[in-house]
Amino acid sequence: MTREMIIEVDPGSPTPPYEQIRSQIAAMISSGVLPAGTQLPPIRQLAADLGLAANTVARAYRELEAAGLAHSRVRHGTVVTAGHAELSSVEIGQRLQEAARSYATTAHHLGVEPAAALEAVRTALDNLVTAESTDSDH
C-alpha cells in the first residue's frame, strides 16, 4: 500500500532536515494519515524530491525505525508499523537496552563521566514530558 506524502523541509530552520522529515512522518503515522503497512518512498526518491542527500533521509528513516514507527528491509523498503502498542514488553526492553548501549558507548567515547551522562538522559526525559504536557494543553 502506498500513499501520497507531502513533506516540506525548511532549509532556514534551526531544526536539522532529518528531524524535520522524521517529525512530519511520525505525525502522519500517529494521526492515521499513514496507517500500518504503508510503504514509505524509497530513500533516494524522497531525497531527490526534497533536494537533500540520501543520508539525510536515511537518518530520518533510522530514527523512525528506532522509535518503532517503521521497519526497513533491504530491497523491500521501509514500511510503517503499528508503533509501540504492537511491541511486546520483551521487544521494548530489547530496544531500550540497545539504545542505552549506543548512548553509553557514545558518552564513553566522548569522555563523559557516567554521572553527567545520566544527568543528560534525565534532562532529555524531563524535556520530553514537559513538551508533551505543553502540547496537550493546547
Q: What is the CATH number for 61?
A: 1.10.10.10
User: In this structure, is residue 5 part of a structural domain?
Assistant: no
Structural domain ending residue among the three candidates 42, 58, 84: 84
**Same-domain check for residues 78 and 63:** yes
Surface-to-core class of residue 20, CB atoms within 10 Å of its CB (0-12 exposed, 13-18 middle, 19+ buried) = buried
> What is the percent of the chain where pLDDT is above 70?
86
φ and ψ of 105, to 5 deg: -65, -45
Average pLDDT, the chain: 85
Question: DSSP character for 73?
Answer: E
**Same-domain check for residues 70 and 93:** no
User: In this structure, is residue 9 part of a structural domain?
Assistant: no
**Same-domain check for residues 66 and 80:** yes
**Same-domain check for residues 100 and 75:** no
Is the model's pLDDT at 93 over the cut of 90?
A: no
pLDDT tens profile 11-54? 998 999 999 999 899 888 877 888 889 999 999 999 999 999 99
φ and ψ of 76, to 5 deg: -120, -10
Domain residues for the domain of 105 are 87-136
**Same-domain check for residues 117 and 95:** yes
**Same-domain check for residues 77 and 25:** yes
The count of structural domains within the chain is 2
Q: What distance lies between CA 14 and its chain's CA centroid? A: 18
The answer to whether residues 83 and 69 touch, using CB atoms and an 8 Å cutoff, is yes
- Least-confidence region, from 4-8, 39-43, 62-66, 83-87: 83-87
User: In this structure, is residue 6 part of a structural domain?
Assistant: no
